[in-house]
């Protein structure tokens, strides 16, 4: 996984747990949706750069295949294989599952894939990650 963007959920007084759960899911979806344009810009930019380069470290066939893969990658592919977006709880759950499956012992997080998210949003995500995700890992 390469990066994460988090949304915060707080259950307002007088709300039922069911309503609170529904709102938490909605906020996780909002976090994923909010990051889509910036994230896809990142992958498309890398793909276009690979299409233009004549890197000697790779064979042309390997470079062209990677460029093709990155320029045709869908957001669903990114969410499945490369990124974790959502509430701190859903992100933590996914990271814990990945740690069990893969056995990773370190993690790099990129809070602004593609560089198109506002600074306030990025700082908020970093704070939620530090306060609500890291302690559970």
Nearest to 117 by CA among 34, 29, 24, 2: 34
Residue whose tokens read 């869908």: 74
Tokens of 13: 């007084």
- Are the C-beta atoms of residues 113 and 7 closer than 8 Å to each other? no
Range of the domain at 47: 3-7+16-136
Report how far residue 123's alpha carbon sits from residue 15's, in angstroms, rounded to the nearest whole number: 28
The pLDDT score that the predictor gives to residue 90 is: 86
Q: How far is CA 11 from the centre of its chain?
A: 24
User: Residue-wise pLDDT tens for the chain (137 aa)?
Assistant: 334 444 444 444 554 444 444 455 556 677 777 788 888 888 788 787 777 766 555 567 777 888 888 888 888 988 888 888 888 888 899 899 988 988 877 887 888 888 888 888 888 888 989 999 999 98
Decide: residue 113, CB within 10 A, 0-12 exposed, 13-18 middle, 19+ buried. buried
Count of domains forming the chain: 1
- Are the C-beta atoms of residues 75 and 41 closer than 8 Å to each other? no
| pTM for this entry | 0.61
């Amino acid at each position: 996984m390469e990066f994460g963007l988090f949304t915060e959920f707080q259950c307002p007084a007088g709300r039922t747990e069911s309503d609170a759960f529904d709102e938490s899911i909605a906020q996780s979806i909002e976090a994923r949706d909010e990051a889509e344009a910036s994230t896809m810009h990142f992958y498309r930019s890398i793909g276009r750069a690979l299409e233009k380069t004549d890197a000697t470290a790779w064979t042309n066939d390997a470079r062209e295949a990677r460029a093709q893969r990155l320029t045709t990658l869908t957001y669903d592919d990114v969410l499945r294989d490369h990124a974790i977006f959502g509430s701190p709880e859903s992100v933590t759950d996914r990271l814990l599952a990945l740690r069990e499956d893969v056995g990773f012992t370190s993690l790099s997080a990129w809070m602004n894939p593609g560089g198109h998210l506002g600074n306030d949003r990025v700082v908020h995500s970093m704070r939620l990650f530090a306060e609500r995700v890291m302690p559970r890992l």
